[in-house]
Amino acid sequence: MNRTEFDAIVVGSGPNGLAAAITLQRAGLSVLVLEGKTEIGGGLRSAELTLPGFMHDTCSAIHPLAVNSPFFRTLPLSAHGLEYIEPPVAAGHPFDDGTAALLTRSVAETAHSLGADEKAYLNLFKPLIDQWPRIDADVLGPLTFPSHPIDFALFGLKALPPSTWLAHRFQTKQAKGLLAGMAAHSIQPLTNFATSAIAVVLMTAAHVRGWPLPKGGSYQIASALASYFRSLGGKIETGFYVSDLAQLPSSRVVLFDITPRQLLQIAGHRFSSIYQWQLNRYRYGMGVFKVDWALDGPIPFTAEGCRRAGTVHLGNTLEEIADSERQATNGRHPEKPYVLLAQQSLFDSSRAPAGKHTAWAYCHVPNGSTVDRTAAIEQQIERFAPGFRDRILARHTMNTAQIQEHNPNYIGGDINGGIIDIGQLFTRPALRWSPYRTSAKGLYICSSSTPPGGGVHGMCGFHAAQRALKDVFGR
C-alpha cells in the first residue's frame, strides 16, 4: 500500500471506527481507515443469506440509538443515501393469552394500552422524555460531571437499580413483561444492577425518535458514514487485517475499533504491565445464536399489534424472561429462550420479493456456545404465531463461533464488546482517567468496549477521537 504518512489511522470500520474517523477528518486531519474484511461496517452489514432477493441484516437490524445519537444527528447522512423507516409499533411483546404490550412513539398511547399501569408508566417516562434532550450526551458518554446534574441524577435513580426492582412500579404482567423484554437487551441477569438503564434508554428513545430501520438494510448506515467520510477527503482501505503495529503506515495517532483481546494481541508489548493486567481481566458476556428466514408470508402473530411491530420480544412474563437470562448466564440453554425478533420486510419492500418476507431473530447463549438453538427459537415464535413454520422457505443460522468469524469484535458471540454490568459500566475497558487512552502514547481504543458501550450510536468513536484531538493535536 501507499506508505504516505497520515495524521491518524483508525483500525476497524464499524460505526465507532467510522465515527472516530469522521470526527478527526472534520477537525482537518488526514485520516486512513483500515478494515480487515472486504467490506466495511462491522455489525452494519446486510446480505442475501437465504435465497436470492431476500436481503437480511447480518448483525444489527433496528436502530433507536442511531437516530438518538447526539453525534450522528450532526451528520448529513440523508444526503449520502440513508433513509429511515419507522414502523407504527416500535416493539411488541406478546403473551400466552393472546394479548400484547405495545411500545409506540406516543407515550400516552403506550401507557393507555397498559390498563391499570397507565399512570405508573406516565409517571416513569414523561419526566425521562422531557429530560432526554438535556442528558442524552451525558448518558451516551464517559462518566464526567454532567451538564445538567439534577436531571442526570434523576435519570440515575431509575437507571441504576436492577430491572426486577424497577418492575415493582407496575402491577400488570403487560407492563412488567414489556420492561423485562427491554432490560434483557443488556444481555445479563435482570437481577443485576444497572439493567434498568438499557430499558429506560430504549423505551425513552422510542418515545423521542422511534425505533427505525434503514431502508435497504443496515449496511446503508455504514455506507452513508463512509460516503460522508470520503467526501471530507478521508481514505478507507479494506482487506487489510492488522495483527501487528509494524504493519501500519506512520501516523501521529492510532485509534482501534476493536476489543481488549485483539488490542493486547496487536499492541500489548507497548502497554504498561498494569494496563495489560487490566485488559486481561476484561470480561465478555453472553453470546447470541442467530437465525434469518426467508418466508412465504408475514409472521402470523396471534396478537394483532405484533403484526405492525418492527421488533417483537418473545419471552412472555417478567419471571420467564428473568429465568431464561439467568440460565444462559450460568452456562445452560433454556428450553424457552428469550428471543429478539425483527420483521423489516413488513415496512421495507426492498428486503424481499413481492409477497414474500424476511425475519431476523436471536437468543442469548453461554459465551462461545456452538449449540444449535434453531428449534428452540422457532418454537418460541410458533408459540405466539401458530403457523409460522409453514411459511419458512429457507433459513440461515449463525452460532457464536460463526458470529465471531464474521466480526472479530464479537468475542464468543458477545455483541456488546464486553458485558455492561455495574463492574464494567463506568470502567470499560480499564479504570483510567480517560477510558479511551491506552498506556501507550498515541494509541487509543474507540470500540464498544469503551463508554457508553454497545449499540449503533458512534459515541464511543466520537469521544475517543475528541480525546485524541485534545491530547495529541491540542484541539
* Grid coordinates given for 359: 425475519
Mean pLDDT of the region 82-99: 98
Q: Is residue 411 part of a domain?
A: no
Mean pLDDT of the region 446-469: 98
pLDDT of residue 475: 85
Residue 119, pLDDT > 80, answer yes
DSSP bridge pairs for 342: 311, 360
Q: Among 358, 387, 406, identify where a domain stops.
A: 406
Q: Among 406, 427, 457, identify where a domain stops.
A: 406
Q: Is residue 121 part of a domain?
A: yes
Q: Say yes or no: 203 and 306 in one domain.
A: yes
Which residues neighbour 166 within 8 Å (Cβ) at sequence distance 6 or greater? 158, 179, 183, 196, 199, 200
Q: How confident is the model at residue 371 (pLDDT cuts 50, 70, 90)?
A: very high
Q: Say yes or no: 304 and 398 in one domain.
A: yes
At 66-86, the pLDDT tens digits run 999 999 999 999 999 999 999
Torsion sign over Cα 267, 272, 277, 282: negative
Which residues neighbour 90 within 8 Å (Cβ) at sequence distance 6 or greater? 64, 103, 104, 105, 206, 210, 211, 309, 310, 311
Q: Is residue 320 part of a domain?
A: yes
Q: How confident is the model at residue 426 (pLDDT cuts 50, 70, 90)?
A: confident
> Mean pLDDT across the chain, nearest whole number?
97
Residue 3, pLDDT > 70, answer no
Q: Is residue 412 part of a domain?
A: no
For the domain that residue 172 is a member of, what is the CATH number?
3.90.660
pLDDT of residue 7: 98
Q: Is residue 51 part of a domain?
A: no
Q: How confident is the model at residue 4 (pLDDT cuts 50, 70, 90)?
A: low
Q: Is residue 1 part of a domain?
A: no
Q: Say yes or no: 337 and 243 in one domain.
A: no
How far apart CA 408 and CA 212 sit, in angstroms, is: 26
Mean pLDDT of the region 221-236: 98
Q: Say yes or no: 256 and 386 in one domain.
A: no
Q: Say yes or no: 294 and 386 in one domain.
A: yes
Q: Say yes or no: 156 and 135 in one domain.
A: yes
Mean pLDDT of the region 461-465: 98
Give φ, ψ of 89 to 5 degrees: -120, 120
Q: Say yes or no: 76 and 225 in one domain.
A: yes
As for how many domains the chain has, the answer is: 2
At 349-370, the pLDDT tens digits run 999 999 999 999 999 999 999 9
- The boundaries of the domain holding residue 446 are 6-46+57-82+214-283+417-473
Q: Say yes or no: 314 and 443 in one domain.
A: no
| Rg of the chain in Å (alpha carbons) | 21
For the domain that residue 75 is a member of, what is the CATH number?
3.50.50.60
- C-alpha count within 13 angstroms, C-beta hemisphere, residue 86: 15
> Is the pTM here over 0.75, yes or no?
yes
pLDDT of residue 467: 98
Q: How confident is the model at residue 1 (pLDDT cuts 50, 70, 90)?
A: very low
Q: Among 375, 406, 437, identify where a domain stops.
A: 406
pLDDT of residue 179: 98
Q: Is residue 393 part of a domain?
A: yes
How far apart CA 300 and CA 70 sit, in angstroms, is: 37
Q: By three-state DSSP, how is residue 34 classified? A: strand
Q: Say yes or no: 159 and 291 in one domain.
A: yes
How long, in residues, is the chain? 475
Q: Say yes or no: 126 and 209 in one domain.
A: yes
CA angle, residues 355, 360, 365, in degrees to nearest 5? 160
Q: Say yes or no: 324 and 175 in one domain.
A: yes
pLDDT of residue 424: 95
Q: Is residue 52 part of a domain?
A: no
Mean pLDDT of the region 137-151: 95
At 260-301, the pLDDT tens digits run 999 999 999 999 999 999 999 999 999 999 999 999 999 999
DSSP state of 444: E
Q: Taking the mean position of all CA atoms in its chain, how far away is CA 46?
A: 15
pLDDT above 70 covers a percentage of the chain that reads 99
Q: Say yes or no: 278 and 337 in one domain.
A: no
Going by C-alpha positions, the residue among 420, 417, 472, 427 that lies closest to residue 186 is 420
